[in-house]
Chains A and B, each alone.
Chain A
Amino acid sequence: MAATARRARAIRPAASRSSRQLAKIPTGITGLDDVLRGGLPAGRMTLLSGGAGSGKSLIATQCALHGARAGEPSILVLFEERAAAVRQNVLSLGWDVRALERSKKLFLLDARINPEAVISGDFSIKGLLAILDRQCKAMRARRIVFDAVDTLLQLYGNPARERHELNGLHEWLLDRELTAIMTVKADAQEGPSRYSFLDFMADCVIHVDQRVTVQVTTRRLRVVKYRGSGYGRNEYPFIIGDNGINVIPITSGVLEHRAPGAKVSSGQAGLDHVLAGGYKRGTGILIVGTAGAGKSTLACLFAQAACERGERVLYINFEESAESMVSNMQSAGVLLQPSMDRGRLVVQSYLPEATGVEEHLLRALAALDELRPQHLIVDAISACQRMGTTHAAFEYLMRVLDACKQRGITCIYINQAIGSDVVSEISGIGISSIIDTVIALRQLPIEDETKRQLIVMKSRGSCHSDRFHDFRITDRGIELAQA
């Protein structure tokens, strides 16, 4: 008996926690299951609405394919697209639909209505249900997707009939305990949709949209309702990447951050002295200064020292290529190439405006998970505004720092100040409040030379010097005058 019970639980993992808890099925979409606290309601109906090109069909398709691959046979009912087009679309994302169809785990039903058909009098979708009944039994289907159900409803041209048919379909689904996803076209700008009754019918409602802000396109997803379950209540950015949909949830509050770690050398003995031992591991550090003040040099010194200790550093550079960075640092006596050759220092150079903020964010998070570095350097956060807006930059920097703090990774942000009054310009796109240590560099013109100075403006939970320290950049790196 016990073995049977255990087996039953293994098949429905979500139900195992508690019988009172709603059973859920994972969508298999990165991030979306986090937002949905586990997945879609099992045996219930979920509505996905959004405008043209918002990605709703792909989300639904991906969920069906995930089910099919995980052993839950799935049916895709296509009211708008040709089955061949869907196969082609998902093939470009690396999923082989044909193989799943051959193994009877997936069935694509072309349910497009002949556009030349003439309607005379009332009708119902009994034909569709008969086909589906047969197919469900034959393949023991557990998931079903109705893509572009509005296309079917349009045939009725009568709100009362539309509602009646959908009610019938809903009952049919509930009777068979199928987990269903319906996609419907809806434009948020156009006010309440004529299909808003679907929102009331469904147990879970997700809206997706695509918008353009300052020439950069972003996609957003929001869970509007979820009966009997908690869910992430924000709007979440998502992208359609090489492997399908990726949703970026805000995964944490500060509570999930790890406590700052032990001190680690900044790579410069004089600065270590000023900071009473160096930076703290797993904290956020901001290095701010005017162009040419030595910000990158200071960060690279730290990277070099870390790599020499055998640690790994990820350097995200929005300003220059890895090659030019290596050669520039060489002239200041900082040798990066050996660490790169040993795979300890990884430099990723990107043009900020090349993609939207979501894609940058996903790349950064993927790199953190893949490389598992002890330290991250972003050079320079002032360039992040070119990802779209100041808000986009703020979102990127907040989330990257958040991810670092959760993983205990030291995060160094470099910010270029525009004016010469560095001290009053440390704000760094509004993120200074979550930064633990701020180091400002400035250059003072004195007669015919420039005097370089460094000051530690803030260092949480640590004592530090609070005066300006003169320093020089030589071919042996940065030399800080000992106080």
Chain B
Amino acid sequence: MPRAGRRPARIQAQRPPRANASYSFRLFVAGNEPNSTAARHNLKQLCERYLKGRHRIDIVDVFESAAAALKHHVVVTPTLIVLKPKLGVTLLGNLSETSQVVATLRLNGNGR
């Protein structure tokens, strides 16, 4: 049964999230180094534009929570994990390539 339970999750990942779905993010940053600051800023802007009122951003600083970084295999920072919806994607980097981030997070149908 556990095996059967895992498979649909992958299939679901291929499917676009329904319109108006809420998003929940966990962003791993390394203090205030430039890439981390940029990622915070970029993610915030994208959420404002595409997910107004239906997003949650949980920021984890690896310098303060190394245990959490270890638990989630965060080797590079910034790392963005999408907790909801189950897209099965991880983004690495400062999220500066907006169109790529939008496509990866499937925000297209969610915009204004």
Contact = CB atoms under 8 A, between A and B. Distances in A.
Interface of A: 109-114, 116-128, 130-131, 133-135, 152, 155
Given A117-B92, A122-B35, A124-B33, 14 more contacts: A110-B73, A113-B92, A118-B89, A118-B92, A123-B35, A123-B76, A123-B92, A124-B30, A125-B76, A127-B62, A130-B62, A131-B62, A134-B67, A135-B70
Contacts of A117: 79, 89-92
Q: Which of A116, A120, A122, A133 has the most CB of B within 10 A?
A: A120
Contacts of B104: 118, 120
Contact of A120 (B30, B66, B73, B93): B93
Contact of A131 (B66, B90, B95, B101): B66
Interface string B23-36: 00000101101011
B33 A126 contact: yes
Interface string B67-100: 1011001111111000000001111111111001
A130 to B, nearest CB: 4
Contact of B94 (A109, A122, A127, A134): A122
A157 to B, nearest CB: 12
A40 B67 CA distance: 31
Contacts of B31: 126
A130 B89 CA distance: 23
Nearest to B73: A110
B97 A126 contact: no
Nearest to B98: A120
Interface in B4-35: 28, 30-31, 33, 35
Contact of A114 (B66, B70, B90): B90
Contacts of A133: 66
B38 interface: yes
25 contacts: A116-B88, A116-B90, A117-B92, A120-B92, A120-B93, A120-B94, A120-B95, A122-B35, A122-B96, A123-B35, A123-B76, A123-B79, A123-B94, A124-B76, A124-B77, A126-B30, A127-B76, A127-B79, A128-B75, A128-B76, A130-B30, A131-B62, A131-B69, A131-B70, A133-B66
A127 B30 contact: yes
A120 B79 CA distance: 10
Chain B interface size, as a band, is: 35 or more
A127 B74 contact: yes
A119 B79 CA distance: 9
Contacts of A118: 89-92, 100, 104
Contacts of B76: 113, 123-128, 155
A130 B97 CA distance: 26
Given A113-B75, A134-B67, A155-B76, A120 B89 contact: no
B14 to A, nearest CB: 12
B102 to A, nearest CB: 10
A121 B90 contact: no
A122 B93 contact: yes
A366 B46 CA distance: 67
Contacts of A125: 75-77
B73 A121 contact: no
Contacts of A152: 75
Nearest to B60: A127
Contacts of B96: 120-122
Contact of B77 (A113, A114, A116, A123): A123
A111 B75 CA distance: 6
A120 B90 CA distance: 10
B79 to A, nearest CB: 7
Contacts of B93: 119-123
Given A118-B100, A122-B96, A127 B77 contact: yes
Contacts of A134: 66-67, 70
Nearest to B34: A122
Given A118-B100, A120-B96, A120-B97, A127 B91 contact: no
B77 A126 contact: yes
B82 to A, nearest CB: 11
